[in-house]
A and B are shown apart, each in its own frame.
Chain A
Amino acid sequence: MAKQLMKGNEAIAKAAIVAGCRAYFGYPITPQNELCEYMAKYMRSSGGVFVQAESEVAAINMVYGAAASGALSMTSSSSPGIALKQEGISYCAGAELPALIVSVSRGGPGLGGILPSQGDYNQATRGGGNGDYHVPVFAPASIQEAASLVRKGLIVAAKYRNPVMVLADGVIGQMMEPVELDPNPIDIEAFPWAADGNSGVRPRNIVNSLHLDVDDLENHNKHLQAKYRAIEENETMWEEYKMDDAEYMFVAYGTPSRITKSAVDELRSEGVKVGLLRPISLWPFPYEVIHRFSKKMKFIFVAELSSGQMLVDVKLAVGYDTPVHFYGRMGGNIFEPLELVAEFKKHQEVLGQ
């Protein structure tokens, strides 16, 4: 497909349709409305299903039903709406249903605001649904990557029979950039487990997350955990920027990682050997690579549009041997490259360098 200038929300919607997603269930919320609107306009003419649900709760449960009957389906929302979807996400995980959830996050808590934020890192990676489950979370830093990760998300969801989230900050949803979509639908075999009304020609299928027998439930959980270990093994994604000779490492994801790249370039121009490690999958988190790099660093600097949520994962990866510093903005404010440079230099001064 030819390169075109698209708004992030629309590129995400189009990427999903082109990849073969044939059912979308959503509810209006800023800043993801263009995604829902694009689906309303184009899903039916693409042979798919569009339903504007009565709530985010209903939307994720429609996804649950569509997925349970074997349709590759998705929903999208923003922070407070994702909070409402957590019950359904837990059920999808428990019943092992593939589904894509796009979260275009905004400031919180509560109604918060409508400007970009990364305050939903914990919501996405830890979830608010009940039980021992995980959802792969992919965080794009450009419109092109958002489109690619939507496609990847659908593939991973189908491969592992698990819900997958694409977590885009509000900048990604609202910004316009050139994007080139892969024109080919993803290659997915029919789901033999689907409850799609064919019990006349095969043994009946049941989609369920209830296991009243204790051993049955423990075994189900062991099975899920084995699946999560495989996802950790195979689907961890990150980008390294100017890390080859780095003595200092920034860690940032999403749109702030691009601002951080500018800070890296500025510091490099002053002769400071600094690089950036950008987690692309937030779960599974690239613990190992961060741990490996951390041994060679004078310090690590985490930058987020939050009070420091990914920071905890970075600290888990690093341990106690290397200092981890943090700078964040909240409420919809976005830091600038020179703001990060100035903060970085404060910590350098403490080191006497």
Chain B
Amino acid sequence: MTTTVFKKTRGLTDVPFTYCPGCTHGIIHRLVAEVLEELELLDTAVGIASVGCSVMSYEFFNCDMIQAAHGRAPAVATGVKRTHPDKTVFTYQGDGDMASIGAAEIVHAAHRSENITVIFVNNAIYGMTGGQMAPTTLPGHVTTTSPFGRDTTLQGEPIRMSEMLSTIPGSYYIERVTVIDPVSVRKAKTAIKKAFQAQKDKKGFSMIEVLSTCNVGWGVTPLDALKQIKNDMIPYYPLGVYKDKGANQ
């Protein structure tokens, strides 16, 4: 007798990922897809793909998908959700897309408490365009546009989106997670589920920030990239729940 202990989620299509080997986008995709399936939201979901490495995510998530202009995914999601309040609407955005060019759109989607879920993949670099500095790039880190290392006197300190958005009254649930080992992957999935559940319960704006690797952009091996998240990123971007309006309810 055979028992199925694991199978690929229906939330993903069979299109091969375009991500580099070692990149953790694939894990995050799977978690989002599994949650959509498990909460029975997949068939009524509309996902918004952004610009960056995850631009092709409209090929991967097995639900209705809309590809948005750079940084504008929260505005596009607003247009979808306001006209279709009973559908599940999520954006999948990178740190260049959200923290830089789309800073206004994300702030105001949270400010209006749009009942959407935002998956924010923070790998501290512009991956798709070849490894340029992002607002999230750590101090001293060498990128193609910070060839001498990020100089905080000229280029500022890295921006912490979860902390910033948690100060906005309209945000309902915000948590920062990572996917560097089995334990953190399981925690990430729980967080993503919480965010989509909040949307299902019509609670308002939810965002999960996922610290993710870009071993190619960072110029390290996949294994060292995982270590880099643990040793460099988590100290600057501590994991945890930053906003949970429902915590005392």
Q: Looking at the complex, which one of A58, A69, A73, A198 makes contact with B108 (CB distance below 8 Å)?
A: A58
Chain A 40-74 interface residues, beta-carbon cutoff 8 Å to B: 49, 51, 53-55, 57-59, 61-71, 73
Complex Cα gap A227–B78 (Å): 29
B130 to chain A, nearest CB (A): 16
Q: A91: nearest residue on chain B (CB-CB)?
A: B69
Q: Looking at the complex, which one of A51, A57, A195 makes contact with B64 (CB distance below 8 Å)?
A: A195
Chain A 68-123 interface residues, beta-carbon cutoff 8 Å to B: 68-71, 73, 87-88, 91, 95
Complex Cα gap A49–B79 (Å): 9
* A230 on interface, CB distance cutoff 8 Å: no
- Known contacts A61-B75, A64-B76; A51 and B66 CB within 8 A of each other: no
A58 touches B72 (CB 8 A): yes
Q: Looking at the complex, which one of B42, B44, B76 makes contact with A62 (CB distance below 8 Å)?
A: B76
Q: A97: nearest residue on chain B (CB-CB)?
A: B66
* B104 on interface, CB distance cutoff 8 Å: yes
- Determine the chain A residues whose CB is within 8 A of the CB of B173 once the complex forms: none
B87 touches A197 (CB 8 A): yes
Complex Cα gap A344–B200 (Å): 68
B62 touches A204 (CB 8 A): yes
* B43 on interface, CB distance cutoff 8 Å: yes
Central interface residue in B67, B79, B89, by most chain A CB within 10 Å: B79
B46 touches A196 (CB 8 A): yes
- Determine the chain A residues whose CB is within 8 A of the CB of B112 once the complex forms: 51
B58 touches A61 (CB 8 A): no
Q: A54: nearest residue on chain B (CB-CB)?
A: B108
- Determine the chain B residues whose CB is within 8 A of the CB of A69 once the complex forms: 46, 64, 66, 79-80, 83-84, 87
| Chain B interface helix/strand/loop/mixed | helix
Complex Cα gap A43–B63 (Å): 30
B65 touches A195 (CB 8 A): yes
Q: Looking at the complex, which one of B44, B56, B69, B83 makes contact with A198 (CB distance below 8 Å)?
A: B44
* B88 on interface, CB distance cutoff 8 Å: yes
- Determine the chain A residues whose CB is within 8 A of the CB of B108 once the complex forms: 53-54, 58
A196 touches B87 (CB 8 A): yes
Q: B107: nearest residue on chain A (CB-CB)?
A: A54
* B68 on interface, CB distance cutoff 8 Å: yes
Central interface residue in A58, A88, A95, A208, by most chain B CB within 10 Å: A58
Complex Cα gap A69–B107 (Å): 23
Q: Looking at the complex, which one of A67, A204, A209 makes contact with B79 (CB distance below 8 Å)?
A: A67
* B105 on interface, CB distance cutoff 8 Å: yes
- Determine the chain A residues whose CB is within 8 A of the CB of B75 once the complex forms: 53, 57-59, 61-62, 64-65
- Known contacts A69-B84, A73-B79; A61 and B65 CB within 8 A of each other: no
* B241 on interface, CB distance cutoff 8 Å: no
Central interface residue in A51, A73, A199, A209, by most chain B CB within 10 Å: A199
A23 touches B45 (CB 8 A): no
Chain A 181-201 interface residues, beta-carbon cutoff 8 Å to B: 195-201
- Known contacts A25-B79, A61-B69, A196-B46; A206 and B58 CB within 8 A of each other: yes
B64 touches A204 (CB 8 A): yes
- Determine the chain A residues whose CB is within 8 A of the CB of B80 once the complex forms: 65-66, 68-69, 195
* A207 on interface, CB distance cutoff 8 Å: yes
A200 touches B44 (CB 8 A): yes
Complex Cα gap A91–B67 (Å): 10
Chain A 295-344 interface residues, beta-carbon cutoff 8 Å to B: none
Complex Cα gap A58–B69 (Å): 10
A49 touches B64 (CB 8 A): no
* B32 on interface, CB distance cutoff 8 Å: no
The residues of A with any CB-CB pair to B shorter than 8 Å are 22-23, 25, 49, 51, 53-55, 57-59, 61-71, 73, 87-88, 91, 95, 195-201, 204-210
The residues of B with any CB-CB pair to A shorter than 8 Å are 42-46, 48, 55-56, 58-59, 62-69, 72, 75-80, 82-84, 87-89, 104-105, 107-108, 111-112
User: What are 20 A-B contacts defined by CB distance under 8 Å?
Assistant: A53-B75, A54-B108, A55-B104, A57-B105, A58-B104, A61-B76, A62-B78, A63-B79, A64-B69, A71-B79, A73-B79, A91-B68, A197-B44, A197-B84, A198-B43, A199-B62, A199-B64, A206-B67, A207-B65, A209-B67
